[in-house]
């Protein structure tokens, strides 16, 4: 009010006197104009923003000197005295590398980094831009300490497995909570099971070009505000909004190739026949073991792989203004993978707008729509490349004599039409009302609406019918919405004491409906023609599934002299998933931080430019379990069998009124330091997280009358260290910055109640929960060596004595399922208009269990083998890696075929050149002529080199999983899993 009055007075007075101007141009260290910098004229308390050329102008009534202050986020403020007149002053502002001034997104709010007391790591849009990934979480890999990201295999649209500070769940979901613009999004990896050896990726339809920043909350102080869902960490995704005044139009486009990082070395026909014959004769067979026409030598791997071509285009239009700003993004992504017939195409649109209805009431809207079409193929154990690595033999011809494709998985893939389409709408509307200087209120409603359609069409040539073909559609709709209301209070009691408080209420509900349509005698799938025209049409609708959360939470903060910060959060969460005796849970957390660099004893040291100590202790929970496990249930009367012509009914689930969330109490201690004006910074953290009431899907003793039951039984401890360093080695015309991060997590199961290690249902390939070992430890019979006399494998029994017999009671925990340490190192260079950077990620220690090699290199059967088999025993006296070839499993000491032993467990240590980027930005002189703001071209390569002793395809494994327990318990198991993808990309970024 006062400002307006003053302005009017000035205006009138300036009209009445001789008008003077103060003019200037704000530029950065490279003499580039700084747009949107705030310039404040002290005398009149006027503030303006610099325009597209970095210019500003003030009109003053009198001549003389005036003080102006220039400020801009990310830069140090500058105060200069300028004389009114015609001179245009150049004001150069320096980048403020003091990292404490960054803005960080915390749960339900934002803070300056100096005020943050919890453990939060952040990645920005620029870093996402330079690492083109199919699914955005892949870009987090090797950048944030404590965040382990294992990218899904090269299958198009596949997702990564993300683990924050180890795994603290066994049967409940162990993935972090993903929050996009305030709504925990639908995160079900098993909406379509593991058909075709791929799980659903709920993050695939989120467009990476929409993302402004990703903040990862790691400790209890940060995650307790998410209550019963935060214990595995929280990943907060904030989408872009128009934040600069004026119109900004930009375009990003790229073209890439996709190839596998490695291909398997399978035997050719001559080798296969020879080795089969050897096995046959070893067993006493005479004559010819296997028939080969002497000519056929099919390279099935070549027939199932290709070089994929990808392209991506993104157009962004943003208009920023004082009261109204809007940003629109349109993207198109076409992603072929290196598997024949496989691609993921995504089209997405976003509109984010902010409007100040009144100066105190602001509305923000985020809407997005995404359409992802995944052309699916069978792979791994289901077919495709996996079949080329297993059941497809080189002696089999791929073609019939008439030239058509012979009956094989290759033919299957060429005929079957399988497409999964996802339509996703994520929307939110926020109203923010500034009641007065101390109070503000916020109300927000969001929804994540997903329609998933999985269409499979099998033509008659594929299924050998007289009718045209069979079509199947699996449709799933998930309607996930939430609503919350928040009241904020902040008061500066005096300059030394500031107090903030927040109280809020949130409700979230999600409903999943699904159905299956099936029809014969169709010429195309339901995605081509959704009509159902004939009598064979059947539709099965499944019962709806629904869950809900109701929460109340509060956060209190106190800042002392802007250098000591204290915070406490408490959340009360209720969920429909819990038993009636445990409907609500309470999750408190306390944290504090001390900005040491504000203290005189640190300031006096001089070389320390920033320093902060922080600590926290708190409770968070995990509620990621299937619905309705707490209720006792009888079979649906419509699907009970009859006996003796009479109806039946029977119980199918035991009631568990005590089913509740998992609880984690975490302690965190962190130290952030910066030296020499933050030229060198490091951050060090120690954490200890104790989880109890860990949910296990128990294979209970069957004499109970049931086989499965969910119960809170286990206890797990995760503890570890995280370190990250950033160093600006050279900072002149040539700039060189190194970023390094490394972390180590120790995971141990401390209790599983009265149950034994076989009790947990869901882990495959002999991984178990064993007290004293990490989750998913490999539980195998130990293999010692190949006996040089007989060529048979020698095992160790439970006491360590050598034996030829394989017995499952001799299994012990072996190997290390989790790595000793992991991390990444990035080196970035820039010189004039060129920039170059490369990122290595590494994993030290940890084993990989190559489960498919037990069939590729074990008893000779209808599987092909890899060339590793050449090192096998052939005659007495041989020292060999693999035993004598045989067709009879009893030669290897067991009547159970394909036994699990440590022969297939290998060290998975690796270092990989994850990303190389070489970029060139057109100089300003040229861009000015073209009337555009910036133009950059870059060449990017991902996963170019891998250094490892592991002999399988790829030491980075994220295979398909059957359920959540499998996903937690089989992190190091591979079974014909396709390798990762190696890409070369050419990218253009243009800002108009």
Site for another protein in 430-459 (CB under 8 A): 433, 435-436, 439, 441, 443
Give the residue with the Cβ less far from another protein, 364 or 745: 364
648 sits near another protein (criterion: CB under 8 A): yes
User: 819: helix, coil or strand?
Assistant: coil
Residue placing its CB nearer to another protein in the complex, 473 or 768: 768
Among the listed ranges 121-129, 261-269, 632-640, 795-803, the one in contact with another protein (CB under 8 A) is 632-640
What distances in angstroms separate CA 640 from CA 635, 647, 652, 708, one per listed residue?
A: 7, 7, 11, 20
Does residue 109 contact residue 557 with C-beta atoms inside 8 Å? no
CA distance 322 to 244: 10
637 binds another protein (CB under 8 A): yes
Q: Which stretch binds another protein (CB under 8 A): 6-14, 73-81, 315-323, 629-637?
A: 629-637
Residues 285-344 contacting another protein, CB under 8 A? none
Q: Which of 407, 529, 707, 801 binds another protein (CB under 8 A)?
A: 707
Q: Closer to another protein at the Cβ: 406 or 543?
A: 543
Helix (H) or strand (E) segment spanning residue 281: helix 269-282
Q: Is 90 in the site for another protein (CB under 8 A)?
A: no
Candidate segments 178-186, 362-370, 705-713, 830-838, binder of another protein by CB under 8 A: 705-713
Considering the complex, state which of residue 459 and residue 585 has its C-beta at the smaller distance from another protein. Answer: 585
Distance between CA atoms of 946 and 842, rounded to whole angstroms? 10
- Which of 640, 731, 801, 833 lies at the binding interface for another protein (CB under 8 A)? 640
Per DSSP bridges, beta strands 20-27 and 88-92 are: parallel
- Minimum distance from CB of 364 to another protein (Å)? 16
Give the whole-angstrom CA distance, residue 223 versus residue 225.
5
Q: How far is the CB of 175 from another protein (least distance, A)?
A: 23
**Interaction between residue 709 and another protein (CB under 8 A):** yes
Structural Rg of the chain based on CA atoms: 32
Closer to another protein by CB, 463 or 654: give it: 654
Residues in contact with 832: Cβ distance below 8 Å, sequence separation at least 6, in sequence order: 733
Choice from 323, 492, 544, 871 touching another protein (CB under 8 A) = 544
Should residue 505 be labelled a site residue for another protein when binding is judged by CB under 8 A?
yes
DSSP designation for 543: P
* Contact criterion met (CB below 8 Å) for 196 and 418: yes
Minimum CB distance to another protein, residue 542 (Å)? 7
Residues in contact with 669: Cβ distance below 8 Å, sequence separation at least 6, in sequence order: 614, 615, 685, 686, 687
Q: Does 403 bind another protein (CB under 8 A)?
A: no
812-814 and 777-780 beta bridge pairing: antiparallel
Among 136, 276, 457, 547, binds another protein (CB under 8 A): 547
Tell me, residue by residue from 179 to 218, as one string, x for binding to another protein by CB under 8 A and - for no binding. ----------------------------------------
Instruction: Give the number of other CB atoms < 10 A from CB of residue 705.
Output: 9
Query: Which of 16, 494, 703, 799 is the binder for another protein (CB under 8 A)?
Result: 703
**Structural contact between residues 196 and 437, judged by C-beta atoms closer than 8 angstroms:** no
Task: Pick from 311, 477, 635, 737 the residue near another protein by CB under 8 A.
Answer: 635
Residue 1 in contact with another protein, rule: CB under 8 A: no
- CA–CA distance, 209 with 584 (Å, rounded to integer): 39
53, 543, 930, 945: which one binds another protein (CB under 8 A)? 543
Q: Return the number of other C-beta atoms located less than 10 Å from residue 366's C-beta.
A: 26
Interface with another protein in residues 868-927 (CB under 8 A): 895-897
- Tell me: does residue 485 bind another protein (CB under 8 A): yes
By C-beta, is 604 or 703 nearer to another protein?
A: 703
Which of 10, 398, 654, 937 is close enough to bind another protein by CB under 8 A?
654
Report the nearest approach of another protein to the CB of residue 887 (Å).
Answer: 10
Count of Cβ atoms closer than 10 Å to residue 403 Cβ: 6
If one counts every other C-beta atom within 10 angstroms of the C-beta of residue 193, the result is: 15
Residue number with CB closer to another protein (309 or 543): 543
Instruction: State which of positions 548-577 bind another protein (CB under 8 A).
Output: 548-550, 552, 574-576
Query: By rule CB under 8 A, what count of residues binds another protein?
Result: 77
Task: State which of residues 284, 403, 702, 877 lies at the interface with another protein (CB under 8 A).
Answer: 702
- Distance of closest approach, residue 371 Cβ to another protein, in angstroms: 30
The nearest distance, CB 187 to another protein, in angstroms, is 19
- Judged by CB under 8 A, the chain residues 767 through 826 that form the site for another protein are 807-809
Query: What gap in Å lies between CA 913 and CA 842, rounded to an integer?
Result: 9
Query: How would you classify residue 212: left for phi > 0, otherwise alpha for psi between -120 and 50, otherwise beta?
Result: alpha
The pair phi, psi for residue 967, each rounded to 5°, is -65, -30
Using CB under 8 A, which of 477, 509, 727, 784 touches another protein? 509
Beta strands across the sheet bearing 905-907: 905-907, 847-850, 973-974
Sign of CA dihedral 967, 973, 977, 980: positive
Backbone angles phi, psi at 935, to 5 degrees: -145, 115
Instruction: Please give the angle made by the CA atoms of 384, 386 and 391, to the nearest 5 degrees.
Output: 95
Q: CB-wise, 507 or 537, nearer to another protein?
A: 507
Residues of span 345-374 touching another protein by CB under 8 A: 361
At 524, give phi and psi (nearest 5°). -155, 170
Closest by Cα among 88, 89, 21, 23 to 61: 21
Instruction: Indicate which single residue of 286, 754, 925, 929 sits in contact with another protein (rule: CB under 8 A).
Output: 754
Check residue 501 for interaction with another protein (CB under 8 A): no
Nearest distance from C-beta of residue 381 to another protein, angstroms: 17
Q: Which of 12, 324, 634, 947 binds another protein (CB under 8 A)?
A: 634
* Interatomic CA distance for residues 157 and 344, integer angstroms: 6
Number of residues assigned to the chain: 992
Q: Which is nearer to another protein, 705 or 877 (CB)?
A: 705
Provide the minimum distance between the beta carbon of 345 and another protein in the complex, in angstroms, as a whole number: 35
Among 402, 466, 601, 643, binds another protein (CB under 8 A): 643
């Amino acid at each position: 009010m006062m400002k307006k009055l003053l302005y009017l007075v000035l205006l009138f007075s300036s009209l009445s006197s001789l008008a003077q101007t103060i003019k200037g141009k704000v530029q950065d260290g490279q003499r580039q104009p700084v747009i949107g910098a705030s310039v404040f004229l002290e005398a009149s308390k006027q503030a303006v923003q610099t325009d597209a050329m970095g210019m500003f102008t003030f009109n003053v009534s009198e001549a003389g000197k005036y003080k102006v202050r220039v400020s801009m986020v990310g830069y140090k403020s500058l105060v200069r005295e300028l004389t009114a007149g015609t001179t245009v002053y150049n004001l150069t502002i320096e980048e403020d590398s003091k990292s404490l001034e960054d803005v960080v997104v915390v749960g339900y709010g934002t803070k300056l980094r100096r005020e943050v007391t919890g453990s939060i790591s952040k990645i920005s849009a620029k870093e996402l831009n330079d690492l083109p990934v199919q699914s955005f979480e892949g870009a987090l890999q090797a950048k944030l300490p404590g965040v382990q990201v294992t990218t899904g295999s090269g299958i198009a649209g596949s997702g990564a497995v993300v683990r924050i500070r180890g795994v603290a769940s066994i049967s409940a979901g162990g993935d972090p909570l993903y929050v996009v613009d305030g709504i925990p999004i639908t995160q079900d990896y098993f909406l379509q099971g593991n058909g075709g050896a791929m799980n659903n990726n709920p993050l695939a339809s989120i467009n990476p070009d929409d993302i402004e920043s990703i903040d990862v909350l790691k400790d209890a102080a940060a995650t307790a505000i998410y209550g019963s869902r935060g214990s595995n960490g929280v990943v907060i995704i904030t989408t872009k909004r128009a934040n600069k005044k004026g119109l900004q139009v930009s375009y990003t486009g790229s073209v890439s190739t996709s190839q596998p990082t490695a291909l398997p070395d399978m035997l050719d026909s001559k080798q296969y026949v020879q080795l089969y014959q050897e096995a046959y004769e070893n067993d006493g067979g005479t004559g010819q073991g296997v028939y080969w026409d002497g000519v056929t030598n099919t390279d099935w791997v070549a027939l199932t792989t290709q070089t994929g071509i990808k392209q991506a285009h993104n157009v962004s239009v943003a208009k920023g203004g004082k009261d109204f700003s809007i940003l629109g993004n349109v993207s198109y992504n076409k992603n072929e993978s290196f598997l024949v017939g496989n691609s993921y195409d995504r089209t997405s649109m976003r509109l984010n707008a902010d409007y100040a209805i009144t100066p105190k009431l602001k509305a923000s809207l985020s809407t997005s729509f995404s359409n992802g079409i995944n052309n699916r193929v069978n792979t791994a154990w289901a077919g495709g490349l996996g079949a080329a690595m297993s059941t497809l033999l080189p002696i089999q011809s791929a073609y019939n004599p008439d030239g058509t494709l012979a009956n094989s998985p290759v033919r299957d893939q060429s005929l079957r039409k399988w497409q999964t389409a996802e339509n996703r709408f994520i929307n939110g509307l926020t109203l923010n009302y500034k009641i007065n200087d101390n109070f503000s209120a916020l109300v927000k409603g969001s929804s994540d609406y997903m329609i998933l359609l999985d269409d499979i069409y099998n033509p008659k040539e594929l299924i050998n019918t007289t009718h045209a073909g069979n079509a199947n559609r699996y449709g799933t709709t998930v309607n996930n919405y939430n609503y919350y209301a928040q009241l904020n209070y902040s008061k500066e009691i005096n300059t030394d004491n500031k107090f903030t408080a927040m109280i809020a209420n949130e409700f979230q509900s999600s409903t999943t409906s699904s159905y299956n349509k099936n029809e014969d005698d169709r010429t195309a799938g339901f995605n081509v023609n959704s009509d159902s025209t004939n009598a064979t049409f059947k539709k099965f609708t499944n019962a709806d599934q629904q869950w809900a959360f109701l929460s109340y939470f509060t956060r209190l903060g106190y800042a002392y002299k802007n250098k000591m910060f204290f915070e406490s959060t408490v959340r009360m969460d209720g969920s429909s998933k819990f038993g009636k005796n445990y409907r609500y849970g309470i999750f408190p957390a306390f944290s504090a931080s001390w900005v040491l660099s504000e203290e005189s004893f640190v300031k006096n040291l001089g070389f320390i430019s920033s320093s902060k100590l922080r600590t926290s202790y708190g409770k968070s929970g995990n509620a990621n379990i299937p619905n309705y496990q707490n209720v006792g249930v009888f079979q649906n009367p419509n699907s009970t069998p009859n006996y003796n012509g009479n109806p039946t009914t029977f119980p199918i689930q035991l009631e568990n009124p005590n089913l509740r969330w998992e609880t984690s109490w975490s302690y965190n201690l962190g130290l952030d330091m910066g030296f020499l004006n933050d030229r060198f910074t490091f951050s060090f953290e120690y954490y200890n997280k104790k989880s109890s009431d860990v949910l296990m899907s128990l294979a209970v003793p069957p004499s109970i009358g049931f086989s499965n039951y969910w119960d809170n039984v286990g206890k797990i401890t995760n503890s570890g260290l995280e370190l990250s360093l950033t160093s600006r080695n050279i900072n002149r015309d040539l700039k060189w910055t190194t970023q390094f991060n490394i972390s180590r997590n120790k995971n141990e199961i401390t209790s599983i109640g009265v149950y034994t290690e076989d009790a947990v249902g869901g882990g495959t390939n002999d991984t178990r929960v064993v007290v004293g070992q990490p989750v998913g430890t490999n539980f195998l019979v130990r293999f010692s060596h190949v006996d040089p006399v007989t060529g048979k494998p020698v095992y160790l029994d439970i006491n360590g004595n050598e034996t030829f017999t394989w017995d499952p009671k001799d299994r012990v925990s072996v190997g290390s399922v989790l790595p000793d340490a992991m991390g990444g190192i990035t080196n970035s260079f820039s010189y004039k208009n060129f920039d170059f950077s490369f990122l290595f990620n590494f994993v030290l220690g940890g084993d990989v269990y190559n489960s498919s090699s037990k069939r590729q290199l074990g008893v000779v059967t209808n599987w092909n083998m890899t060339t590793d088999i050449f090192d096998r025993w052939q005659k007495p006296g041989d020292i060999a890696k693999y035993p004598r070839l045989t067709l009879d499993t009893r030669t290897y000491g067991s009547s159970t075929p394909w036994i699990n032993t440590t022969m297939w467990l290998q060290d998975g240590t690796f270092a990989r050149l994850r990303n190389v980027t070489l970029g060139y930005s057109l100089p300003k002189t040229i861009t000015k002529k073209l009337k555009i703001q910036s133009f950059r071209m870059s060449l990017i390569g991902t996963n170019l080199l891998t250094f490892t002793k592991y002999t399988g395809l790829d030491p980075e494994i994220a295979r398909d999983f059957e359920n959540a327990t499998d996903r937690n318990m089989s992190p190091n198991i591979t079974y014909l899993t396709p390798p990762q993808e190696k890409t070369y990309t050419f990218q253009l970024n243009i800002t108009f």
